[in-house]
Amino acid sequence: MKIIFINPPFTNYVGGIKGYGGKSMPLNLTYLASYLISKGYENTSILDAEALELSYEQVLEHIKKEDPDIIGFTSPTPSFQQVVDLSNLIKQQNPHVKIIIGGPHSSALPLDTAKEPSLDFVCFGEGELTMLELVEFIEKGRTDYDKIDGLIYKEGEKIIQNKQRKLTENLDIFPFPVRNLVPRHLYYPPPTKSVSDKKGTSMVTSRGCPFNCTYCVAKVVWTRRVRYRSVKNVVDEMEECVNKYNLGEFNIHDELFTANEKRVIELCKEIINRKLDVGWVCMARVDTIHSKEMLEYMKKAGCGKIVFGFESGSQKILDLMKKGTTVEQAIRAVKLVKESGIKTSGNFMLGNIGETLETMRETIDMAKKLNTDTIAFFQTSPYPGTEIYYTALEKGYLRKDIQWKDFALLSKTAPALNLPNLPPEEVAKWVKKGYKEFYLRPSYILNQIACIKNWRDAKRMWQGIKLLVQVS
């Protein structure tokens, strides 16, 4: 069996931010490929068409040359149309190939996704076991697909959805992502997440988040349960990256890395004990930062920056989001992290349901008050499967002319929401206003210049300036 996983091209087809917004390894595909290879399907490859900036024609040429039996697409919502376009073209060229789609979009809207004629199967939820079973069935010529949990398949015009697959309890059973199958040299973090001059990569140490924020798509795939990899397993992967791939900077994509203080300290101690010279960035909620001891260990173990999802500077909006945090907790968390010597970054959303000009002003003022090392402002994006998406559908807040690409967080498309009191153009204007007011403060500029100690710092600052020009 020849299997190709494809990360579809996106930026070149929707006019997204190019050059300095960061480019990440498709972790889900590298996990899927690694798992299949470990089960004997060694003729498995990955085509990262987004990182390689391939055109549809180039993707088709690659597929024609390789002539695979199975193609697996991943698709967040913004790139779903590219998956559909490519699948239609692939079926015209290679009608025999089985096309499978998985990822956040297909997990959020599985039946709608399955309506696309060129998509043979839809995987929803956690994908490794579902994908393995499906590949085995296809190889053996079995068609009793009703026995595969987490799968949607077709019988003629009929679309059949099987039951949800149970989550895998022991994440250590999954081999490390196959980084040798992707163009590692093309991946790099955005300026807001760069902490060293080492070559970097992405990784996860856990899956899931127990919170219930209205805008978050994580629970669509992982539900509201958190499952952790063992400390040894995580640090073994770090060690492999350092020794095998010369990768020493890690962008940890856990939704909630700092939630379990004891585990964080154990993880940091293991990194320290192995004398790994690494740098890393993680994400955190403000209500999980209250231990100076944890921050001290994180600093010693190479943590260079913590990225907070502040989301809003308005308590009213935070409550509407069901964020479960307060403005005061944000102020305290940033203070503690700064005192530890770890850099800080913050993400904010503007244009949420219930937002007003006054609450957006509160958010921008809050960003300046927190004065993190870097920030990012995003247009609120009501991803399918989230509470805010269904609220927007019910109230008619989605733009009438909306396309899937408009759900992208960092792009030049108009916001997906069209609120009665806040048209998309107004929200877009405030996003630009936020960037300009934060980054163009004389005190901030002087401080950043003073912090330049080497070429790496200067390069990161220059990349940040170029990104600022694009988003504002």
Q: What is the DSSP string of 387-413?
A: HHHHHHHHHT-B-TT--GGGG-SSBSS
What per-residue confidence (pLDDT) applies to 8? 94
Q: What single-letter amino acid sits at 173? A: I
Cα(335)–Cα(276) distance, rounded to whole angstroms?
A: 28
At 468, the pLDDT band (50, 70, 90 cuts) reads low
Q: What single-letter amino acid sits at 8? A: P
Q: What is the DSSP string of 274-309?
A: TT---EEEEEE-GGG---HHHHHHHHHTTEEEEEEE
Cα(392)–Cα(400) distance, rounded to whole angstroms?
A: 12
What per-residue confidence (pLDDT) applies to 219? 84
pLDDT tens sequence across 165-200: 999 999 999 999 999 999 999 998 887 788 888 899
The hierarchical CATH code for the domain 3-161 is 3.40.50.280
- What phi and psi values does residue 364 have, to the nearest 5 degrees? -65, -40
The answer to which of 171-185, 436-450, 458-472 has the lowest mean pLDDT is 458-472
Q: What are the residue boundaries of the structural domains of the chain, listed by start?
A: 3-161, 189-471
The contacts of residue 464 (CB under 8 Å, 6+ apart) are 20, 191, 192, 374, 439
Nearest-5° Cα angle at 77, 73 to 79: 55
Maximum separation of any 2 CA atoms in the chain, in Å: 67
Inform me whether the pLDDT recorded for 299 exceeds 80.
yes
Percent of the chain with pLDDT over 90: 81
What per-residue confidence (pLDDT) applies to 191? 76
Higher pLDDT: 201 or 469? It is 201
Percent of the chain with pLDDT over 70: 93
Q: Are 165 and 133 in contact (CB under 8 A)?
A: no
Inform me whether the pLDDT recorded for 16 exceeds 70.
no
At 21, the pLDDT band (50, 70, 90 cuts) reads low
* CA dist list (Å): 129 to 106, 158, 171: 16, 24, 12
Fold of 189-471: pyruvate-formate lyase- activating enzyme (3.80.30)
How crowded is residue 312: how many other Cβ atoms within 10 Å of its Cβ?
A: 28
| Mean pLDDT of all residues in 370-390 | 94
pLDDT tens sequence across 401-435: 888 888 876 655 677 899 999 998 999 999 999 99
* CA dist list (Å): 303 to 257, 309, 353, 457: 12, 17, 35, 17
